[in-house]
Amino acid sequence: MAAYSTAKAGVIGFTKSLAKEVATRGIYVNCVTPAVIATDILAQLSDDAVGYMTAKIPMGRTGRPEEVAAMVAWLASDECSFTTGGVFDISGGRATY
């Protein structure tokens, strides 16, 4: 998981840096950091592997794609006009970065 965590940390750093560089141009830069989301990719894993990952989520379940979509829709909306450089965790309480 070191490579995964390092890559995610890089995205977070890039998000914050780029947000500062373009803030005066009306460009907002934010990132979303999901944990285990119930998508087709989970079908490639064993039940034990999914159970192991889910057990680490304080809410005790995987996220749903529509929950991530709702967050992204809010980030893209006019309601989010004073938010830049943000890291939006959607992990059921288990940050994975």
Among residues 4, 28, 52, 97, which one is catalytic?
4
Rounded-to-integer distance, Cα 28 and Cα 7, Å = 21
pLDDT at 97 over 60: no
pTM: 0.84
Indicate if 4 belongs to the active site: yes
For 4-8, what is the mean pLDDT? 86
DSSP characters over 30-53: -EEEE--B-SGGGGGS-HHHHHHH
Tens of pLDDT, residue by residue over 73-94, are 999 999 999 999 999 999 998 8
* Residue in this structure with the two tokens 């999901």, named with its chain if needed: 34
Tens of pLDDT, residue by residue over 30-71, are 999 998 999 999 989 999 999 999 999 999 999 999 999 999
Supply the pLDDT for residue 94: 83
For 13-22, what is the mean pLDDT? 98
Query: What confidence tier does 1 reach under pLDDT thresholds 50, 70, 90?
Result: low
Q: Which CATH superfamily groups domain 2-90?
A: NAD(P)-binding Rossmann-like Domain (3.40.50.720)
